[in-house]
Amino acid sequence: MNREPDKNPKPDDELAQDAMLRQRFVDLWQQASMPGVATDPDAIWHELAKHYAAPDRHYHTKRHLAFCLQQLDLARERIPHPARVEMAIWFHDVIYHAGQPDNEQRSAEWFRDRARGIMPTDFIADVLGLIEVTTHAGKVEELDRQFICDIDLASFGCPWERFVRNSDAVRAEFALPDGDFYRGEFRFLASLLDRPQLFQTDFFHGLYEQQARTNIARFLDLIEQRRT
């Protein structure tokens, strides 16, 4: 039977990334599931991937997931419970509506509803807490939570050109006038810069702190120039 070709086919590198992400997720889900419990990680993956591929997403996509997983792998030997942190990474932005204050809470609930009865209760509870701290409301004490916060912010330490591309992608997710968006962005970035350190773990502090501070300060200057 003839099949109409895709109008927007994915490039080979994106297809390869999708296949890698799917396999990695399925493997983790199966490893975290209790023995003898029936589960369908492929079905969960397809739900998850659909959320991250929503048309209104430009930064909080599967590319962000892949980047976070790369950062996890860099620090894996230093993370007390890497499987729990990784599970939280997969779900931390599954619910994302730009500017809404309950994205993390709703993402945690989305994970809980699918993991309940499949994974141990202590594992689920830890993952819920890890997802919820990605609000970046302030310093956290527990090392796993420090690592997921640092992983989620690691893109601030990218080279300047990539930092700008990421910032443009975040901007594209907000249906706001430039003035309103950049006022809020200025407040958020300035609050990060006011912290004694952006990254809470020694590992990511050493890796990205200086570049991240340089990027944020430079970007704040650009916002100020735009205002004037």
Q: Identify the three-state secondary structure at position 228.
A: coil
User: Total structural domains in the chain?
Assistant: 1
pTM score, whole prediction: 0.92
**Four-residue CA torsion sign, 82, 108, 133, 18:** positive
pLDDT tens, position by position, for the chain (228 residues)?
Answer: 333 444 455 677 888 889 999 999 999 999 999 999 999 999 999 999 999 999 999 999 999 999 999 999 999 999 999 999 999 999 999 999 999 999 999 999 999 999 999 999 999 999 999 999 999 988 899 999 999 999 999 999 999 999 999 999 999 999 999 999 999 999 999 999 999 999 999 999 999 999 999 999 999 999 999 876
Q: Is residue 146 part of a domain?
A: yes
Q: Is residue 3 part of a domain?
A: no
Q: Is residue 166 part of a domain?
A: yes
Q: Is residue 4 part of a domain?
A: no
**Gap between the Cα atoms of 55 and 197, Å rounded:** 34
Q: Is residue 185 part of a domain?
A: yes
Give 70-107 pLDDT, tens digit per residue. 999 999 999 999 999 999 999 999 999 999 999 999 99
Find the CATH number of the domain harbouring 184: 1.10.3210
**What domain range is 58 assigned to?**
40-227
Q: How far is CA 47 from CA 44, 81, 94, 196, in A?
A: 5, 25, 9, 39
Q: Is residue 35 part of a domain?
A: no
Q: Is residue 34 part of a domain?
A: no
Q: Is residue 30 part of a domain?
A: no
Kindly report each contact of residues 166-174 with a partner whose C-beta sits within 8 Å and lies 24 or more positions away, as own/partner: 166/59, 167/219, 169/58, 169/59, 170/58, 170/59, 172/58, 172/59, 173/56, 173/57, 173/58, 173/59, 173/60, 173/98, 174/98, 174/99
